[in-house]
Amino acid sequence: MANPRKRGTILLLVTGLLLTIFAGRLVEIQAVRGETLAAEALDQRMKVLALPAQRGAILDSDGAPLAVTVEARNLTADQTLVTDPAAVAAALAPILGADADVLATRLTGTRRFVYLAKSLTPEIWNRIRDLRLPGIFSEETSRRVYPSGTLAANVVGFVGDEGLGLGGLEYAFEDQLTGTPGEMSYEGGLSGGAIPTGARSLTEAQSGTDITLTIDRDIQYVAQETLAAQVKASRSDSGTVVVMDPQTGDILALATVPTFDANDPGASDAKDLGNRALTEVFEPGSTAKLMTLAAVVNEGKANAYSWFKIPPKLVRGDEDFQDHTPHGTLNLTLAGIMAKSSNIGTILAAERIGGRKLEKYLKKFGIGESTGLGFPGEASGYLLPRDQWSSTSLPTIAFGQGFSVNAVQAASVFATIANDGVRLTPRLVDTLTADDGTIETPETAKPTRVVSAETAQQVRAMLETVVGPGGTAPNAGVPGYRVGGKTGTAQAFDESCGCYRGVVASFVGMAPIDAPEMVVGVFLMNPKVGRYGGQLGGPVFKRVMTYALQSRQIPPTGAQASRLPLGG
Bridge partners (DSSP) listed for residue 68: 145
Which amino acid does the sequence have at 218? Answer: D
Please give the span between the terminal C-alpha atoms of the chain, in angstroms, as a whole number.
144
Which amino acid does the sequence have at 354? Answer: G
Q: Give residue 357's Cα distance to chain centre.
A: 34
CA-based nearest residue to 241, from 277, 207, 273, 272: 277
Sheet containing 200-203: order of strands: 46-51, 182-187, 200-203
The total number of residues shown for the chain amounts to 568
Which amino acid does the sequence have at 32? Answer: V
Main-chain dihedrals φ then ψ at residue 423, nearest 5 degrees:
-90, 125
> Other C-beta atoms within 10 Å of 263: how many?
17
Which amino acid does the sequence have at 411? Answer: A
* CB-based burial label for 441 (10 Å; 0-12, 13-18, 19+): exposed
DSSP classification of residue 402 = S
Checking phi first, is residue 313 left (phi over 0); if not, alpha (psi -120 to 50) or beta? beta
> Other C-beta atoms within 10 Å of 481: how many?
18
In sequence order, what are the residues at sequence separation of 6 or more whose Cβ sits closer than 8 angstroms to the Cβ of residue 106?
77, 114, 116
Helices (H), 419-532: 453-464
Query: Are β-strands 165-167 and 136-145 bridged in parallel, bridged antiparallel, or unpaired?
Result: unpaired
Residue 411 DSSP SS3: helix
Query: Cα separation of 46 and 42, whole Å?
Result: 6
Bridge partners (DSSP) listed for residue 117: 75
Helices (H), 202-245: 217-234
Query: Are β-strands 429-433 and 210-213 bridged in parallel, bridged antiparallel, or unpaired?
Result: antiparallel
H/E element, 394: helix 393-398
CA-based nearest residue to 119, from 210, 52, 204: 52
DSSP classification of residue 529 = S
Let me know: does 385 contact 319? Beta carbons within 8 Å: no
Bridge partners (DSSP) listed for residue 494: 499
* CB-based burial label for 505 (10 Å; 0-12, 13-18, 19+): buried
Query: Cα separation of 322 and 301, whole Å?
Result: 23
Compute and round to an integer the Cα radius of gyration of the chain. 35
Q: What Cα–Cα distance (Å) separates residue 71 from each residue in 139, 142, 178?
A: 11, 5, 16
Let me know: does 112 contact 80? Beta carbons within 8 Å: yes
- The catalytic site residues sit at 286
